[in-house]
Amino acid sequence: MTGEFRKWPEFSWLSDTDTWKSAEKITAGIDIGTTSSQAAVFADDELFGYASIHTGADFTLAANTVIAKALASSALSVGDIGTIAATGFGRRNVLYATKTQDEISCIAKGARFIYGPAVTTVLDMGGQTTKAILLHEWDRVREFEVSDKCATGMGRHIETAAEILRVPLTEMGDRSLETENDPEPVSTTCFNFAYSEMMSLFREGYKEDMYKENEVIASYLFAVAWRILGTVGKLAPLDIGDIKIKEVLGFTGGLAKNKGITKRIERELNITAIEGKHDPQLAAAIGAALLA
């Protein structure tokens, strides 16, 4: 495998102002995930810079690289940042962090920043885990669920699927939506069953036909969406009081950019997710910076 199909574009942004010089408080949030790493820098609660990169095998190297990219050409250095909160799987590898923060709180806080106060249900779909979070009307977590073992590593393995199918990861979602009738999902028992069934279809010669190939991708991503819905479903297994999936849903995490997954989740939940003002992959880093 060459790795060319699994790649997604890294990105960064830096404010063209120098507001940080007069800022009373500069904070940063570093989210080191299994697949991607993000950094967000705030000057007096205003977003000043951010970056997202592939994590790779070395969490410490990823932590050092991502903050350097977020600060980019600014004259700001890590030493100028008052508090740096690390979160994500590799949070303990952020050697320059001044504190660590749990992912659930960070994602919840970051989602409110990205989607505004209206968002009440956050669905974070990352490389390793899926988290479904219900928020109070105010800025607190009401309830949350984390995916079980049968869905662990799902996000990361979609990259592997892209590589094996030789379909660019960034195109998978759109390609899966090009089918005339959305096919049934492949096995929804667990993500590994889905993966193996998808591979069986692939071996049966579906690669020969572009349209059929799209169907295989659609079936596979539908199964992934189904596993994610399993986590969401546990949030509201009972209709008790006002605890139920609210209609204002916001997606976060890397898979939030895969329309083949988000559109199917929206369709099954009969909800249209709201649009955010920032990249949903930044949610945990933004939240960490705000909680720092």
Q: Name the residues that contact another protein, by CB under 8 A.
A: 89, 102-105, 128-129, 131, 140-141, 143-149, 152, 234, 237-238, 240-241, 243
Nearer to another protein, 84 or 291 (CB): 291
Q: Which position has the token pair 């009969």?
A: 270
Nearer to another protein, 75 or 240 (CB): 240
CB of 127 to another protein, least distance (A): 12
Q: Which position has the token pair 């096919």?
A: 183
Nearer to another protein, 4 or 143 (CB): 143
Nearer to another protein, 69 or 91 (CB): 91
- CB-CB contact of 194 with 186 (8 Å): yes
CB of 112 to another protein, least distance (A): 15
Q: Whole-angstrom Cα distance, residue 137 to residue 72?
A: 37
Strand bridging mode 249-252 / 121-125:
parallel
| Beta bridge pairs of residue 36 | 54
Strand bridging mode 26-32 / 83-87:
parallel
Query: In this structure, what DSSP letter does residue 21 have?
Result: G
Nearer to another protein, 149 or 277 (CB): 149
Nearer to another protein, 18 or 143 (CB): 143
Tell which residue, 201, 200, 197, 196, has the closest CA to residue 213. 201
Q: Whole-angstrom Cα distance, residue 84 to residue 58?
A: 20
CB of 259 to another protein, least distance (A): 26
CB of 152 to another protein, least distance (A): 6
CB of 202 to another protein, least distance (A): 27
Nearer to another protein, 136 or 166 (CB): 136
Per the structure block, which two tokens stand in for 162?
């892209």
At CA 78, angle to CA 33 and CA 97, rounded to 5? 45
Residue 222 one-letter amino acid: F
At CA 56, angle to CA 51 and CA 58, rounded to 5? 100
CB of 101 to another protein, least distance (A): 8
CB of 105 to another protein, least distance (A): 5
